[in-house]
Amino acid sequence: MLCARGRLLKRRRMTKKLIRESKEINMAEGPITISLEGRIDSGNAAEVEKSIRGRLPEGAPAVLDASGLNYISSAGLRILLRIKKTNPDLTLKGVNAEVYSILEMTGFTEMMEIEKAYRVVSVEGCEAIGRGANGTIYRIDMDNVVKVYNDANALEEIKHEREVARLALVLGIPTAISYDVVRVGDSYGSVFEMLNARSFSGILASEPEKLDWCVREYVKMLKKIHGTVVPEGKLPDVKETVLGWAEFMKDYLPPEAGEKLVSLVRQVPHSDHMIHGDYHTKNLELQNDEVLLIDMDTLAVGDPIFELGSMFNAFVGFSEPDHGRIKRFQGFDRSIGLEFWHKSLAAYLETSTEEKIKEVEDKARIIGYTRLVRRAIRRGALETESGRAETELWKGELLELLGRIDTLVFKRNELEIDALAEKLPAVQAFVEERLESVSCPPKARMQIELAVEEIFINIASYAYSEGGGRALVRVEVSDEPITVSITFIDHGVPYDPLAKEDPDVTLPVNERKIGGLGIFMTKQVMDDVVYEYRDGSNVLTLKKKL
């Protein structure tokens, strides 16, 4: 046990050690760094402060390296407060858990920037269960996983991800919250408790017979995410990010195509609904029968088409040049990826109509290929033969799509389709699916089917000259009383079918004119038929009360 004189000598030696390890840097080159060692208490506080003051000009930015500090009393806290007043740009780093708890308890963590010391975790030999744009997730034991960030200066990213994950949880999205931040090599990681958790990728890889179950749960979570309204300003708008991708692409596409790509993105309306931004089967975990969403750093707000573009890449686009990529990335074969993507998109759109699925898929592909080409170019793809080949493949697909797609906007209750007679079965199937959802009576269903055929065939036959065009079919249902509205929109020759006089059905056969019965029967079986020419389009709406 040290006597009082011995303790005083020890404190003086500690102060001298602090002086020896202090590093003074020219203010123009950066902050002055001073190391704190051992203890700061009432016995040595005056000497410690004098030592710091001797090396720290008033007003200079400073970093106090507390990695060697294991004790601080109120006397030491008073030093920090006085230095903070004379040197406002003061940071403490490497603070151990015990000292940090004292600083937090006394409000110092709110007054100045304090960086906590982090325990060190090794991922050597650990299974990588997820890999994204910003980092890799490793299972470090049966109960825990760690997300290791690619950026060595990732503390702000970690803080952002923890904040948005808490926001998502408050808004009703089941997710895991990081309970610790650790050092992993030269970078940082977030630790999550994921007891007995399995990713959907792992389930699909080992139990492909559960694909339909995975699709159902995957889409259920996706709809929950997209149905969540986020308070203004809480999350970034993904449209701004995608617009940046499109602007980048203008230097690598023909001028007309580049301008059209930017225009298509700009025309997507703002949405304050949540999107995940990196929604694939490695970021969905099954833990004790509960489905959890992970990897939340890409959380944003925006139109669902931006989400679908990212999903297309994960299951299809990224592995188009090399089919083995999806196996290496997701853990399952490309055939499973293709099937999962198609079934998920169909379930999300609530349709089995292939034309509707293809319509939305093509719009998602525009977003997907834009991202893939930009990513490849930024990573030096144009400098290698293989890189140029895959870039040209994706760019070729993108140019083909830009040649025929005029909007990225889609709605579940709308079908955009070629105005061709052979497309009638697809139109009728699409309408039929919507009628099933409202339990439409058989008689009304037959009458609606008749009217749909007459109107669509009329558009297919007369709206466009050679070369054809597109038609949009929208199905809406209103209440009190339940009424089905079916709207047909085409950009063909202006034509008001209601302006034509009804045929006289009382005339004998030899006096009857051929034609004109289709719109007549439509008016007879529908409760209302309304036409208008609006914004260069023929708009015809049929209404039927159920």
Calculate mean pLDDT across residues 194-217.
93
The confidence score (pLDDT) of residue 12 equals: 44
453 with 314, same domain? no
Is residue 312 a contact partner of residue 323, using CB atoms and an 8 Å limit? no
Distances from the Cα of 50 to the Cα of 6, 15, 69, angstroms? 21, 10, 17
Report the candidate in 453, 412, 460 with the shortest Cα–Cα distance to residue 433: 412
Query: Which of 149-153, 167-171, 336-340 has the weakest average pLDDT?
Result: 149-153
| Dihedral angle over CA of 215, 217, 219, 221, nearest 10 | -150
Same domain, 243 and 355: yes
What integer pLDDT is reported at residue 513 of this predicted model? 63
State whether 448 and 479 are in the same domain: yes
**pLDDT tens-digit series, residues 150-169:** 888 888 888 888 899 999 99
Task: Mean pLDDT check: name the lowest of 181-190, 234-243, 314-323, 455-464.
Answer: 181-190
In one-letter notation, the amino acid at residue 415 is L
> Do 129 and 145 contact (CB within 8 A), yes or no?
yes
3-state secondary structure of 516: coil
* Angle at CA of residue 396, ends 333 and 417, nearest 5°: 85
Given this model, what pLDDT does residue 466 score? Answer: 77
Give the count of domains, the chain: 4
Question: What's the confidence (pLDDT) of residue 22?
Answer: 43
* C-beta pairs of 518-524 under 8 Å, 24+ apart in sequence: 518/454, 518/455, 518/457, 518/458, 519/454, 519/455, 519/458, 521/450, 521/451, 521/454, 522/450, 522/451, 522/454, 522/455, 523/498
Q: Are strands 135-139 and 144-149 parallel, antiparallel or unpaired?
A: antiparallel
Question: For residue 325, what pLDDT is reported?
Answer: 95
Alpha carbon distances (Å) from 368 to 318, 363, 389, 441, 541 = 9, 9, 17, 42, 35
pLDDT tens for 30-80 read: 789 999 999 999 889 999 999 999 999 999 999 999 989 999 999 899 999
Angle, helices 354-378/304-315, rounded to nearest 10 degrees: 80
Same domain, 85 and 45: yes
Q: Does residue 235 belong to any structural domain of this protein?
A: yes
Give strand pairing partners of 478.
483
Note the pTM of the prediction, 2 decimals. 0.74
**483, containing H or E segment:** strand 483-490
Residue 161 domain boundaries: 127-193
98-120, pLDDT tens digit by residue?
Answer: 898 899 899 998 889 998 888 88
Considering the domain boundaries, does residue 477 fall inside one? yes
CATH number, domain of 147, equals 3.30.200.20
Identify whether 121 is part of a domain: no
- In this structure, what are the phi and psi dihedrals at residue 186, rounded to the nearest 5 degrees? -90, 0
- Residues 355, 283 contacting (CB under 8 angstroms): no
* Helices 238-249 and 354-378, axial angle in degrees (round to 10): 70
Average pLDDT, the chain: 89
Residues 369 and 233 in one domain: yes
pLDDT of residue 504: 62
Task: Render 304-369 in DSSP notation, one character per residue.
Answer: HHHHHHHHHHHHTGGGSS-TTHHHHHHSS-HHHHHHHHHHHHHHHHT---HHHHHHHHHHHHHHHH
**One domain, residues 300 and 425:** no
- CATH number of the structural domain spanning residue 541: 3.30.565.10
- 446 and 378 within one domain: no
The answer to whether the beta carbons of residues 362 and 405 sit under 8 Å apart is yes
Whose tokens are 């061709």? That residue is 420
Percentage of residues in the chain having pLDDT higher than 70: 92
User: Which residue carries 């697809």 as its tokens?
Assistant: 426
User: Do 222 and 370 belong together in one domain?
Assistant: yes
**Residue 203 belongs to some domain of the structure:** no
- pLDDT in the model for residue 7: 41
Determine contact, residues 367/309, Cβ cutoff 8 Å. Answer: yes
**58 CB neighbour count, 10 Å cutoff:** 9
* Per-residue tokens: 473: 């079919």
Question: Does residue 27 carry a pLDDT above 50?
Answer: no
Kindly state the tokens that stand for 517.
Answer: 């019965």
The three state secondary structure string of 183-221 is: EECCEEEEEEECCCCEEHHHHHHHCHHHHHHHHHHHHHH
Distance separating alpha carbons of residues 285 and 145, to the nearest angstrom? 12
In a domain, 50, yes or no: yes
Residue (of 509, 506, 478, 208) closest to 334 by Cα position? 208
Residue 316 CA to residue 41 CA, distance in Å, equals 63
User: Which of 65, 91, 116 is a domain's end point?
Assistant: 116
DSSP string, 265-313: HHTSPP--BEE-SS-SGGGEEEETTEEEE--GGG-EE--HHHHHHHHHH
Same domain flag for 109 and 158: no
432-435 LR contacts (CB < 8 Å, sep 24+)? 433/350, 433/351, 433/352, 433/353, 434/475, 434/477, 434/484, 435/484
The CATH number given to whatever domain includes residue 27 is: 3.30.750.24
Q: What share of the chain is helix, strand, coil (3-state, %, to 5)?
A: 50, 20, 30
What span, in angstroms and rounded, lies between the C-alpha atoms of 420 and 394? 29
Helix, coil or strand: residue 53 = helix
Tell me: do 94 and 163 sit in the same domain: no
CA angle 300, 303, 309 (to 5 degrees): 85
Residue 215 shares a structural domain with residue 239: yes
Give the percent of the chain with pLDDT over 90: 67
Within a domain: residue 393? yes
- What number of helices (H) and strands (E) belong to the chain? 18, 19
Residue type, 41: D
